[in-house]
Amino acid sequence: MSVKNVEADLRAAVTDNDFCALGTRCRETVKSLAQLVFSSEKHLPDGTPAPSPTDSEEMLSLFFNTTLDGSTATEARAFVRGLITLNNAIVHRNPPRPLDAKLAVFGLRSLVELVAILTGMNFETEPWKVVQVGQRFFAWDGGLLYSLDDRKPIIAPPEAIQAINDAGHHTSYCSKERIQTKLAQGARQVYEPDKREWRRELTHGIENHVLIVREGD
C-alpha cells in the first residue's frame, strides 16, 4: 500500500484536473486498504450484515473497533470519516483547492502508517506476488498494487491462469458480492498491473465475476 506514487503525483500536480485526480486516487487507495485489512471473520460482530466491498468507511470502522480500545477506536473512526469526506470534496469541488489535495495525501499517509502499526504489515516494501507472461504481469499482492489507478477490466487471459496454476497456486472466479468472504478466507484478487501506474481486474466475461487466487503451500 505504498503512497509514494500518490505523493509524487501531488508534487507534479498543476491543473484542476490534476488535483481532482488526486482526490480520486486517495479515495480508491483508502478503499483498497480497507478491502485488504478487513476480515468478516475477525472484525464483523455476530448478527451484523457484512459491509459492501466499496464501503471503505464501514470496513475500516469495524477493523478499528476490533484492533483499538474504546475512545481510541472512536477517534480513529472519526479520522477515517473526515479523510473520506475530504477526498470526495476534492473530486467534486470546482475548482479544487491545492491545499485540500495536500491534506488528503497527508491524511492518506497517516492512515496507511496507522494500519501498518496495527497489522505489522509493511506497505512500502512488501514484495510483489506475481507471475510474468511475456511482457505482462499478473499480481495479487505486494508492491504498489493497492495504490495503482484502476483501468477497464479485461477477460482473464488463459495463459495468465495457466501460469498462476503452474506456480502452485489455485485460481477460481468469484462474484464481487462474495469477494469479502473469500478475502477473509485467505484468497486474493488477481490484477494485471504495469507495476508503476495502473492495474485492471481480470473477469470471466461477466464483469461482476473476477479472478481470485489461493496461494499454494
Across the chain, which has 217 residues, the per-10-residue mean pLDDT values are: 76 85 83 84 87 86 85 85 78 80 86 85 74 93 79 95 95 89 85 88 87 89
> Given the C-alpha cell 506497505, which residue does it identify?
123
Domain identity same for 25 and 99: yes
Is residue 124 one of the residues assigned to a domain?
A: no
Q: Are 153 and 201 in contact (CB under 8 A)?
A: yes
Query: What pLDDT is recorded for position 124?
Result: 65
Q: CB within 8 A of 42, min separation 6: which ones? A: 66, 184
Query: What pLDDT is recorded for position 2?
Result: 61
- The span from the CA of 30 to the CA of 79, in Å, is 12
Q: How many domains does the chain have?
A: 2
Q: Are 53 and 176 in contact (CB under 8 A)?
A: yes
| pTM of the complete model | 0.61
Query: What pLDDT is recorded for position 1?
Result: 55
Domain identity same for 17 and 107: yes
Is residue 173 one of the residues assigned to a domain?
A: yes
Spacing of C-alpha 71 from chain mean position: 26
DSSP H or E run through 150: strand 149-155
Q: Kind of pairing, strands 198-203 and 149-155?
A: parallel
Q: Helix, strand or coil for residue 123? A: coil
User: How many CB atoms sit inside 10 A of residue 69's CB?
Assistant: 9
Domain final position from 119, 145, 161: 119
Domain identity same for 115 and 133: no
Q: Are 144 and 5 in contact (CB under 8 A)?
A: yes
Domain final position from 71, 91, 119: 119
Q: CB within 8 A of 155, min separation 6: which ones? A: 202, 203, 204, 205
Query: What pLDDT is recorded for position 217?
Result: 67
